[in-house]
Structure 1
Amino acid sequence: MIIRYERNGKVKHGWMVEEDHKVRVIEGDIYKIQTAKPIMTGLELSLDEVTIKAPSAPSKVVCIGVNYRDHASEVNLELPKEPLMFLKPSTAVIGPGEPIVYPKLTQNLHYEGELAVVIKKEAKQVRAQDADDYILGFTCAIDVTARDLQMSDGQWTRAKGFDTFCPLGPAIAAKLDYNDLRIVTRVNGEVRQDASTSQMVFSIPQLVEAVTAVMTLLPGDVILTGTPAGVSALHPGDEISVSIEGIGTLATKVVMEE
């Protein structure tokens, strides 16, 4: 699987060999698949020598709301007739282990475990049947939400756009059958969400088509595909993880804003 890591002040992509606790160094831009293909150098580093970053540095994160039937029921919302979109800024993105900061502007912080789609090349007006050609792979995500702000004024982007409100990682699974993946969210070790991507209202190809009909996606951009039932509050000191079949586990903790 593809990871993005920092070592000696430089950020690069690599191929994680988890069973050997190593990363194989990749030289070149993994997104420039049409011109200069990235090179597997043969050099291997111990994972202890590197800091794993968010696997992508997107220009934008496009999020899809109310895309699981059971989640729509728990929040008393009707199923949307077309994908419900909102944005998170690039500054919301953090990597594995980087803490979620609980802002002083909210008193009701929620988690939403999600499957994230990473785009590999410029995508504009993509048809659903061609969507897989534009997908680099998939990773885990947490859509962090100031629920009181979201409900009070309906400004989803404000409620979900704070710094640190989009943990991504730990790696990008480049080849994955995404139609029926188990997704499990735990808070302090307790299972809070346990569902399958088969419960989505709109499939991933449908989401790619809908989003790219509106805006151009750039290499590294991310689509968050919605969350299943089981969302609830986070508190300072909580440890949260999202595990997705075929990808791994994204884990972090919550700290209070200073």
Structure 2
Amino acid sequence: MRANSFLYSKPSQWGRWATHLAASWWRMLFLGAVALVLAFSPSTYTRAHRVATARQIYLGAWQVLPWFTALSALVSLVIIRIVLVTAFSYGLSGFALEMVVRVLVLELIPLSAALFVALRAGMAFNTAALEPLAADQSPDAAWRLRRDLVAEVSGNAFAVLTLAMVSSVVVLVLAYLNVYGLSPYGLDDYTRTVGRVFEPAVTVGFAIKTVLFGLAVAVIPAAAILEIQRFGRDSTSTMQPGAVRLLFVLLVIEAGSLAVKYF
């Protein structure tokens, strides 16, 4: 019984549905643990594994980095101007820079990077390559599945981290230029404000949240693809495998991060 069949199931089948859902989440967590162990295992990185991983990092991060950075800079510039003008009009200019850093760098940039990678790469988790390999039980197919799985997971996780970090640096530079212009005399006040935002606990939380975003984007689509091979695809669904679950996990991570910081 598929998880999305709950709405069409009888009350007597809800127990089976709950069991299937719990097993599905467990398989996802187990796959994530296996992928992490393989990613940090030196024996994984043979020449073929290194080439496959480098290719996925190039496709997932380096190839789209200029375009994503330019797009995020353009959107961030608009938001920065709106925040600054609104703060000045209400006499709250002293809080404008801190608000920009908290909203854009801490919250919107990591989430937008995760969603971008998910839409571009994560939800299209090389279905055509992984499903036949998962169905084939030969030793060669198992080796190729391990190579492609580690490459996809590493590439997507690295892409989220790279896009988020580079875009955050660009937004911080744009924020300074919009508040202080090209003058170097605002550096002291700027560094104090940014340092006040990025206190140790917030910095650790920001890093953990970004890493969790990367792992979610990397693992959840892969687990959905492999689960489809075992239980079949829902013919009534037009969404990419794992899309709803991935969005749910991203929102839970973001909500948890906000709850820890502000409550």
Instruction: Settle same-fold status: TM greater than 0.5.
Output: no
TM-score, scaled to structure 1: 0.29
Structure having the larger proportion of residues in helix: 2
TM-score, scaled to structure 2: 0.28
Structure having the larger proportion of residues in strand: 1
Larger Rg computed on CA atoms: 2
